[in-house]
Amino acid sequence: MNAIPVITIDGPSGAGKGTVAQMLAARLDFHLLDSGAVYRAAALHALNSQADLADEASVVASLDTMKATFKPHSDGVQVFLNDRDVTASLRLETTAAAASQVAVMPRVRAAVLDEQRSFRKPPGLIADGRDMGTVVFPDATLKVFLSASVEVRAARRSKQLKDKGIETTMASLLQEIGARDERDSTREHAPLAAADDALIIDSSDSSVHEVVAEILAAIPTLNMAE
């Protein structure tokens, strides 16, 4: 039994997990695991190594030469692949799509399991992903499943991209998010699903602050409610 507290925040892309996880980590002074970044780094490394993304053995073999470093950053996490800063490339939609492609592979998921668990250090961890509460930290102190309607998630994503000067259409975003949801939820290994004992929060009509307050109030022993 590991005594170091972990709060897991799982849910589909665009539900606000990243922002909520960052705010919680700052509030509690906990470490932060952005497990999506781990899958994105693995996918980018596989692409850079000319691995065949449709072939599990080829992707797994490429991981042998991967040295990924995750540094906490005011804006989430800064990621280095074999000492090169890849933070910007990691956020591209093409990398997200590649990540979701390699994330269906059980041997890839197994290969990144220890890396993810190594983030559990005192005083505690906020773990953001799809299977944090179900697979990676089944003994978590508190499991949250954060969701929002696909329309709200597409609108949030559109705003994020616009802020970065990237224009997209709502139709293409809805299509992209829908396709990623479908792949993440229907895959055989560690599909996106709420743990049986998860606190389910729908953030469609709530602000990030309201969601953070709800989670703080639900933490069993730390009693962090304001």
Binding-site ranges for ligand C5P (CB under 6 A): 13, 35-36, 39-40, 96, 99-100, 103, 129-131, 180, 184
Helix (H, G, I), strand (E, B) or coil at 218: helix
**Nearer residue to ligand C5P within complex by CB, 3 or 88:** 88
Residue nearest to ligand C5P (CB): 36
Are β-strands 84-85 and 125-129 bridged in parallel, bridged antiparallel, or unpaired? Answer: unpaired
CA distance 95 to 101: 10
CB of 100 to ligand C5P, least distance (A): 3
With the C-alpha atoms ordered 2, 193, 93, 55, is the resulting torsion angle positive or negative?
positive
Shortest Å, Cβ 151 to ligand C5P: 18
Cβ proximity to ligand C5P: between 16 and 124 the closer is: 16
Provide, rounded to whole angstroms, the least separation between the CB of residue 135 and ligand C5P.
Answer: 8
Residue closer to ligand C5P by CB (options 101, 206) is 101
Within the chain, residue ranges assigned H as helices are 17-28, 35-48, 56-63, 87-90, 93-102, 106-111, 113-117, 150-163, 170-186, 208-218
- Torsion, Cα 174 112 104 81, to 10 degrees, reads 60
CB-nearer residue toward ligand C5P: 23 or 96: 96
Rounded to a whole number of angstroms, the minimum distance from the CB of residue 182 to ligand C5P is 11
